[in-house]
Amino acid sequence: MSHKQQLIDQVIEAWRALQQQTPLVQCMTNSVANNYVANILLAAGASPAMIDNPFEAEDFTKISAALSINLGTPTTEQTQAMLISAQTAQQQQVPWVLDPVGYGAVLKWRSATVDQLLTFQPSIIRGNASEISTLAGSQIQSKGVDSTLNSHEVYAQAKSLLQYTECIAISGESDFIISKQFDAVIQVNGGCHLQPKITATGCALGALTAAYHAVSSPTIAALASHVHFAIAGKLAYEHAQTVGSFNVAFLDYVHMLDDNLIQQYVDIKIL
């Protein structure tokens, strides 16, 4: 298992690679999130493109450096496109991230799509505690698309998902990255309590994870994106304590993050 500073060095390296390569990231996300996701990815250094129709999905995935699939507000056409792109990503070895928004017993249609998508082996699965827990077989119910569980309650159980993927990332008050490569769980601290008050932060985190995955391994990608958000959230909250102003400051700090800030503020723990 890597030592902590080695992991931090790799996160910094991933951040640098993101700035240098500005990878093209195909984002299939929901209608609530897509503007925000695009702005977060641009601010972080990536080049997002929201191509999500079944007529262009295959061709576009082939030229993308990474793919992000988020099930927030699926339509029939978008679902078709997701299945095409996930299959293409698997065949062409394009790294891809699955965000199973709303997975559970109530939203059966999307959950069935998620089950199909899993067969195309996402490199990383990212979700909140309720989604990941349900995906790992729990019967606990989420409340709509927001989590009713804490992230620290589910990471042990979530390890069973490593049969489908290289890495699982669970966001919450603390985030947990479950790595097959390192056979370890990494806890990421930071952020602030206002983040869940802004819609689509989780969706943007999933897309940013895909962006980092274009330039690094699954574990380092998940770690880097969660550290990126944790630091930006913490610094933004120091400058703005109300939700509208915090949201503006958060985008500022997602953009202003650099290797010095990562080294100074990163707060991770290997479990």
Per-residue DSSP letter, 23:
-
**Shortest Cβ distance from residue 253 to a copy of itself (Å)?**
8
3-state secondary structure (DSSP) of residue 46: coil
Q: Are 228 and 44 in contact, with CB atoms under 8 Å apart? A: yes
Residue closer to a copy of itself, measured from CB, 40 or 167: 40
Q: Are 199 and 145 in contact, with CB atoms under 8 Å apart? A: no
Residues 10-29 that bind a copy of itself (CB under 8 A): 24, 26
Structure tokens at 197: 């008050």
Residues 78-117 that bind a copy of itself (CB under 8 A): 102, 106-110
126 is in an annotated binding site: yes
Residue 1 touching a copy of itself (CB under 8 A)? no
12, 178, 251, 268: which one binds a copy of itself (CB under 8 A): 251
Q: Are 263 and 52 in contact, with CB atoms under 8 Å apart? A: no
Residue 9 touching a copy of itself (CB under 8 A)? no
The maximal CA–CA distance of the chain, rounded, in angstroms, is 46
Q: Are 188 and 226 in contact, with CB atoms under 8 Å apart? A: yes
Residue 237 touching a copy of itself (CB under 8 A)? no
Residue 39 touching a copy of itself (CB under 8 A)? yes
Residue 210 touching a copy of itself (CB under 8 A)? no
Q: Are 109 and 74 in contact, with CB atoms under 8 Å apart? A: yes
Residue 180 touching a copy of itself (CB under 8 A)? no
**Shortest Cβ distance from residue 8 to a copy of itself (Å)?**
25
Residue closer to a copy of itself, measured from CB, 6 or 31: 31
3-state secondary structure (DSSP) of residue 160: helix
How, if at all, do strands 24-28 and 268-270 pair?
A: unpaired
* Whole-number Å distance between alpha carbons of 168 and 188: 13
Residue closer to a copy of itself, measured from CB, 23 or 190: 23
50 is in an annotated binding site: yes
Question: How many of the other CB atoms lie within 10 Å of CB of 9?
Answer: 16
Residue closer to a copy of itself, measured from CB, 27 or 86: 27
59, 115, 183, 258: which one binds a copy of itself (CB under 8 A): 59
Residues 187-206 that bind a copy of itself (CB under 8 A): 196-200
Going through the chain in order, the beta strands assigned E by DSSP cover: 24-28, 47-49, 66-70, 96-99, 124-128, 167-171, 175-179, 184-188, 268-270
Binding residue ranges for substrate: 50, 200
Binding site for a copy of itself (CB under 8 A): 24, 26, 30-36, 38-39, 42-43, 47-53, 55-56, 59-60, 63-64, 72-77, 102, 106-110, 143-146, 196-200, 242-245, 247-252, 255-256
